Amino acid sequence: MDHDATLGSFFMFPLCRIYTSLSHLRNLSIPTRKASPADGASHLPRRWVILVVVLWLTLIAGAGFAVGVWLLGNYLVVRASLRPPRTPFFMTPRDLGMPYQSVVFPSRDGVRLHGWWMPAPKPIGVAILCHGYLMNRCEPLPVARELWKVGFHCLVFDFRAMGQSEGNLCTIGDRERLDVLSAVDFVARTAPGLPIVAYGSSMGGAAVLLAAAEDPRIRAVAADSAYARLDEAVKDWWCGTLGKASPLLHPTLWLGALMTRRSPREVAPEAVIAQIAPRPVLLMHGTHDQLIPAYHAERLYRAAREPKQLWWAEGCAHVQARYERPDEFYTVLVQFMLNAVGASETEEAG
């Protein structure tokens, strides 16, 4: 082999090795790692992720809708409660043998109130009689007749937003106390110098207690089936209506506070009844009252100062004593009012 051939082989050998190596690399396949079951669990397919998100959004939207319907229902209940339908008149004083005249006077905040004035032939005092929730001036007329017969001028009137009186918002005792105070103003002008007594049933009873705590012109107060505190009375109403489901309507308390601008917790005759003393207070309550349970009367009685009296109508429901136990009811009430004005039933009969 000559020198040139040997030199060519020296340079060609490395090139051939490089070519051969590249050829082997080109034919090789790089192994890939197979997916494990764990990888599949941690990387869900995209459609499953979308399904989970849609499901959560649906649940959230459904819960929001349910809460909205619940609150809307509470709002409608509050609106219907504070703007109740007006009960038509079902009797007049003439039906009970009493003369009367229609009167109109403004409440302390300007709301015009309508009522009936029944003058007594030989007056010994003036009785203001206040109806309950959802009622009108017709309701206390039987009570007025008994007091009229013993010598009381009597005034019955429609609370605001009820009967024929103006206004479109009932506050179940709070602003109704202003109506009672304006009734006192009216009878003081109409029959000056005569002692004034007040009677109220249910909401009317709470209103006369609240008013008497402010106005000493009210000589005596009789409250039939009154509540001690409005927020607890509302809960009792719902409990009597819905039973164990009544907490569903508890939002009506703060919704009502927004509409009336007064917390029902602050509408509390028991907080002010002590201020009525030394004027006498008569509390009358049915032992089977499911609407305003008997504990309201017990708390009012404990909070009041002497002279005070609590008469239980055994077996009677809400404001039913005058119908179910009339002899006892009217005897207790009339004698209480006569004592308050310094008269006696015997003297009046004579």
Residue given tokens 């009252």 in the structure block: 289
| The pLDDT value given to residue 30 | 43
User: Considering only CA atoms, which of 256, 185, 180 is closest in space to residue 223?
Assistant: 180
Please give the Cα distance from 204 to 107 (Å, whole number). Answer: 15
The pLDDT tens digits along the chain (350 residues) read 444 444 344 333 343 443 444 344 344 444 444 545 544 444 557 888 788 777 888 888 777 877 888 788 888 988 999 999 999 999 999 999 999 999 999 999 999 999 999 999 999 999 999 999 999 999 999 999 999 999 999 999 999 999 999 999 999 999 999 999 999 999 999 999 999 999 999 999 999 999 999 999 999 999 999 999 999 999 998 888 788 888 888 888 889 999 999 999 999 999 999 999 999 999 999 999 999 999 999 999 999 999 999 999 999 999 999 999 999 999 999 999 999 999 765 455 44
Q: What is the DSSP string of 30-71?
A: ---PPPPHHHHHHS--HHHHHHHHHHHHHHHHHHHHHHHHHH
Per-residue pLDDT, 249: 84
pLDDT at 51: 80
User: What φ, ψ does residue 9 adopt, rounded to 5°?
Assistant: -65, -35
How many whole angstroms separate alpha carbon 226 and alpha carbon 204? 8
pLDDT at 344: 62
**Cβ partners under 8 Å of residue 126, min gap 6:** 152, 153, 154, 155, 187, 190, 191, 194, 195, 196, 197
Do 239 and 246 meet the contact criterion of CB atoms below 8 Å apart?
yes
Hey, what domains does the chain have and what are their CATH numbers?
Answer: 83-229+267-342 (3.40.50.1820)
Peptide bond preceding 307 in cis form (omega within 30 of 0): yes
Give the model's pLDDT for residue 46: 80
pLDDT value at position 75?
A: 86
pTM of model > 0.85: no
- What pLDDT, on the 0 to 100 scale, is given for residue 241? 79
pLDDT of residue 345: 55
Write down the pLDDT at residue 43: 54
Question: What confidence score (pLDDT) does residue 7 get?
Answer: 36
Please give the span between the terminal C-alpha atoms of the chain, in angstroms, as a whole number: 169
Instruction: Return the axis-axis angle of helices 176-190 and 203-214, rounded to nearest 10°.
Output: 60
Contact 147, 118 (CB under 8 A): no
| pLDDT of the residue at 170 | 97
d(CA 255, CA 70): 12
User: Exposed, middle or buried by CB within 10 Å (0-12, 13-18, 19+), for 276?
Assistant: buried
